[in-house]
Structure 1
Amino acid sequence: MAPLYSTKVTAKGGRHGSIRSDDGLLDLSLALPKALGGSGGATNPEQLFAAGYAACFENALLRVSREARHHFTDDQVEVVAEIGISRNEAGNFVLSAALSVTLVGVDQATGEGFVHRAHQVCPYSNAIRGNVDVATTVTVR
């Protein structure tokens, strides 16, 4: 099946280098975070992954809520993605993810249902399912 959308990003210099998309809209320096012994001062792959996951998951959440005939406004939904990097028992690097979702205007059960369904349709969730532990929390107001 042909992709609905495809993009290319070139990385040079690893975690101390840069990334640039083929259209030039993404053009960033990279740096190892201070927490990992680096100098910081620039973005890193975990931040980029967290940004993409949060935006994608929020869009999936908006889609499943619309399908259920509930329409959130932009200020009624917030998704915070936290990406962690650690080592497994073999000493290899692994990622973890936590999604904190805040919803306004629904009850807890409805909010949790939307988040569960969004986790099924989000491309990021589907890409990492079975490989990355993902914790979700839902707060309703």
Structure 2
Amino acid sequence: MNPTKLKVLSVDDSPTIFSHLEYVLKDLSYIDWVGHAFKISCGKAMATTLNPDVVLLDIMVEDESGFDLLKHLKEKYPNIKVFMLSNLADSIYNKKSIKMGASHYIDKSFEFHTIEDLLEIEYYNRNMKSLQN
């Protein structure tokens, strides 16, 4: 059985973060970056139609809360892994993210480099599960 690429959707209003994600994700052979949304409403629609395995989700997207989309994703698509992204270093956001069902909380200022490793782990975990079934 051939390994299945990990489908990743990103939601962040920053063009700079979009560029950084593009740089990180474009050359990863195990990733299918299915799209990027600059608004929560677009991210919600894209998650419905694109069926991603992982959503990289900013906590604040324009004037909208990423927590609203996290709640929606975990209710409608509990198997989607959500990695919350933020520049907010306060531990309250980390705790809230995990409590609401996020798999990871990534501080964009200091931990952005961990995205590649976390996605690689998720890719191997998913493909190992499919081999065991």
TM-score by length of 1: 0.23
Q: Which has the higher strand share?
A: 1
